[in-house]
Structure 1
Amino acid sequence: MNTQPPKPGPIHVAQLDLDGPDGEVLSFGPALGAGPAITGGDVYTLVRIGGRPVATVVSRVPPGKSPADAVAADARARLARTGTPDPGGVRAVPPRTSVVVATRERADQLARALDSLLAQDHPDFEIVVVDNAPVTSATEDLVGNKYAARGVRYVREAVPGLAIAHNRGVAVAAGEIVAFTDDDVVADPNWLTALTAPFAADPGLGCTTGLILPAQLGTPAQILLESHGGFAKGFTPRTYDPADPPADEPLFPFTAGSFGSGANMAFRASVIRAVGGFDPATGTGTPARGGDDLYAFVSVLAAGHRLRYSPDALVWHHHRETWKDLTNQAYGYGAGLTAYLTATLVRRPALLPALLRRLPGGLARARAITASRDSGGAAVPGAHGAQDYPWPRHLSRLERRGMLAGPIGYVKARRKVRGVRLPWNTEST
């Protein structure tokens, strides 16, 4: 039986900048400013107004039609229907920041990410590469030969696991703020400023997250992942305050996946250290498979700090390309979700009553998110959160199987990391 979905053709990824919601085109082209010109076909476009991200649209450019004109027409129509999100907040001078990139044996991708980080417009930042359980010297050689002279710091963490690598980054960070991204992203030049400036404006802020969009939609697996929701959380800024729980989030704060993702997050350094950092038994590279970022978000909120989502803080993520990658990712999403919940209860048992009250609603939400859906043809990305995307039954089963395995994976991971101490104090896991 073939469990793969219908195979859509490649979709171009582009950026369009308008001078207003119904304005003229300021610029149009490939999302990352490189690659072949867009001449027609299906196009997934980030729409900006005066440089600020406000929406995405999916367009089909007819033969002989100007791609810029066709996409602009769709963008204006979209903004006329939905309006333009209020940017919100007051821009302040961002504090000194350390950017941590954990990596393992992906030197080529890391180089692309570091080039984009070195081009940031943030006034005061450093970059720390944490090489997690390396088996070759490729990452160390890359940083030493190409980036050390430009101020990039290299740190080796011998114990495998993304959360452990992130904790090592927190330990050595010199900045007041610690930002995290992955080695498979390209950061927008304004990313770090937009992600960290809110800390200067709000002393009670403990964490920020930002917008993640696809860098490529060239394979069926990439397109299907983005159709399923990808990593995008919309274009409206939002602040989550534990003292004033959002009325439209009845499962708050346990719907941590709605706050953001680990490829685009930042913490006040004093806060992430005070809450114990990332749980070493969660995350990629452990039997738990994920959940390290979700655990950290809930920990910060549980400690009374606010969390802000800022869509102006944009990174472009290179989704995995193959069907095997997607199946592994589906299983890992499910496992990471329940592993993080298990970690929260093990390490923060005071949250148990709140979690039990929300458990029925959480189970219903999990069933809805992981439900299989008829593709009805090719997958089309763009309508994030609408829950009308195609999602094959095979991937639905894998997600749910992962959810069942997550707590067991967490217990196994706890045994593996027993005795691992936080790098900034003597507390063990």
Structure 2
Amino acid sequence: MRKPDVSLILATVGRTDELGRLFDSLAAQTFTRFEVIVVDQNSDDRLLPHLERARYLGINVRHLRHNPPNLANARNAGIEAARGKWIGFPDDDCWYAPRLLERVVARFSRSDKPSGVIVRWVEQDEQPPSAADLSWERSRAFRDIPVSSITLFCQRDLFKAIGGFDGRLGVGQFFGAGEETDLALRALRAGARLTYEPLGEVHHAVNAEKPRADTATCAAVRHRARGTGALYAKHRLPGWVILRGFAAPMLRPLLKGSFGAELLLGYATLRGRLDGFIAWRRKHAAGHANAQAANAPVKEV
């Protein structure tokens, strides 16, 4: 079998039916020299029928087991197993436009040879960066970021240069988010070139409902916000950037005259960022800035 050009690392736990839409979109890709490395963090065999269906659709699927669940370390396990020159990180509930991989490979193949390509998240509908290339100067001011993992494709050699995702950040950890933005910040600080490709399109549903401020939602918001606070401390961002990050979640709703759910969620965000900033400085500031948590043992099925 020919070596794939692109490795897609799909770390998953809990979900099953959502995989069908993703695999259907991968089967429809105009660029076909890719593999999908499914890093299965479930304790049972719930994924097996879905993986068989993907293979029936003609997709080159590899199946790894990884425990305990840790999104960042699961992706690191996939990076170690990847055979492609370029690596992407689809979520188990996202899906690709038919020409996405074609567009990404074409951008990587141009003469400037970027280290990473960031594509457009259609449903998020955010403004593109101010320049085609991201920069450390703007990113350390939290401009042009955060970067979502579903939009990020990287040269495999980049991970050899800077390491993988930081297993202390992300889903399942005290610092509940930020691992992909941390990766982008480390890459930019090391001089890597990350460029934006607006013709590449990835889809992921966005909750359009008005935000609720019940106890569970506020707790989840606070948990994720710890990751942003950790990034402030880990990357030693300028003081004015950190102060802006603490103030903005409360100021935005107040300036709009919103004193309900939006203000409560802003308060949860502020508390989470403070939690993360203080905890990172206490636990990790003395360590190496790019230290990685150890990966759990992995076996291919």
Scaled by the length of structure 1, the TM-score of the pair is 0.58
Q: Indicate whether 1:306 and 2:193 are aligned.
A: yes
For residues 44 and 126 of structure 2, what CA distance do their matches in structure 1 show?
A: 34
SS in 1 for 2:38: strand
Distance 1:232 1:329, change over 3 A: farther
Distance in 2 (alpha carbons) for counterparts of 1:202 and 1:255: 29
Q: Equivalences for 1:182-331 in 2 at 5 Å?
A: 182-214=91-123, 230=124, 232-234=126-128, 238-242=132-136, 245=137, 249=138, 252-255=139-142, 258=145, 260-319=147-206, 323=212, 327-331=218-222
Q: Which has the larger radius of gyration?
A: 1
Structure 1 residues 308 and 326, CA, compared in 2 at 3 Å: closer, same or farther?
farther
One-letter amino acid matched to 2:54: Y
Partner of 1:392: 262
1:406 match: 276
Paired residue for 2:28?
119
User: Matched residue of 2:188: which SS?
Assistant: helix
CA deviation string 1:170-212 (max 9, x = no partner): 1111110001121111211122222343221155522221211
Amino acid in the other structure paired with 1:420: A
- Which one of 153, 156, 159 corresponds to residue 62 of structure 2? 153
**Residues of 2 paired with 1:272 and 1:259: CA distance?**
19
Contact 1:282 1:340 in 2 (8 A): no
The aligned amino acid for 2:226 is A
Change (3 A) 1:189 1:164: same
Deviations 1:216-264 (A, max 9, x none): xxxxxxxxxxxxxx5734387621245xx4xxx3xx3352762531122
Aligned pair in 2 of structure 1 residues 413, 362: CA closer, same or farther (>3 Å)? closer
Q: After superposition, what is the alpha-carbon deviation per residue over 1:350-370, rounded to whole angstroms, capped at 9, x for unaligned? A: xx4xx3xx2213422552355
User: What amino acid does structure 1 have at the position aligned with 2:173?
Assistant: T
Cα distance, 1:303–1:177 mapped onto 2, change above 3 Å: same
CA, structure 1 residues 372+419, in 2 after alignment: closer, same or farther (shift >3 Å)?
A: closer
Residue 115 to residue 313, structure 1, CA distance change in 2 (3 Å): same
For the residue of structure 2 that corresponds to 1:260, the secondary structure is coil
Distance in 1 of aligned mates of 2:165 and 2:295: 12
- Checking the alignment, whether the CA contact within 8 Å between 2:38 and 2:63 is kept in structure 1 is yes
One of 215, 225, 229 as aligned partner of 1:334: 225
More strand by share: 1
Q: Which has the higher contact order (CA 8 A, sep 6+)?
A: 2
> Superposed, which structure 2 residues align to 1:45-56 within 5 Å?
none
Match of 1:99?
A: 8
SS at match of 2:9: strand
Which residue of structure 1 lines up, in the alignment, with residue 241 of structure 2? Answer: 361
CA distance in 1, matches of 2:166, 2:271: 23
Give the 3 Å change call, closer, same or farther, for CA 279–120 of structure 1 in structure 2: same
Q: In structure 2, what residue type is equivalent to 1:98?
A: S
Are the structure 2 counterparts of residues 407 and 241 from structure 1 closer, same or farther at C-alpha, using a change threshold of 3 Å? closer
For residue 195 of structure 1, what is the amino acid of its counterpart?
Answer: V
**What are the residue-to-residue correspondences of 1:373-392 with 2, within 5 Å?**
373=253, 392=262
Percent identity of equivalent pairs: 25
Q: In 2 relative to 1, CA 255–153 (structure 1 residues): closer, same or farther, beyond 3 Å?
A: same
Residue 77 (structure 1) aligns with: none
Q: Could you say if the C-alpha distance between residues 232 and 327 of structure 1 is closer, same or farther in structure 2, counting changes exceeding 3 Å?
A: farther
Contact 1:96 1:175 in 2 (8 A): yes
Deviations 1:28-76 (A, max 9, x none): xxxxxxxxxxxxxxxxxxxxxxxxxxxxxxxxxxxxxxxxxxxxxxxxx
- Provide closer, same or farther for how the CA distance between residues 418 and 187 of structure 1 changes in structure 2, counting only shifts above 3 A: closer
User: Aligned AA for 1:148?
Assistant: R
> Counterparts in 2 of 1:158-173, with a 5 A limit?
158-173=67-82
Other structure's SS at 2:198 match: strand
Matched residue count? 283
- How high is the TM-score relative to the length of structure 2? 0.80
Q: Distance in 2 between matches of 1:295 and 1:139?
A: 30
What is the distance in 1 between the residues matched to 2:82 and 2:223? Answer: 29
Separation in structure 1 between the aligned mates of residue 174 and residue 125 of structure 2, nearest angstrom: 22
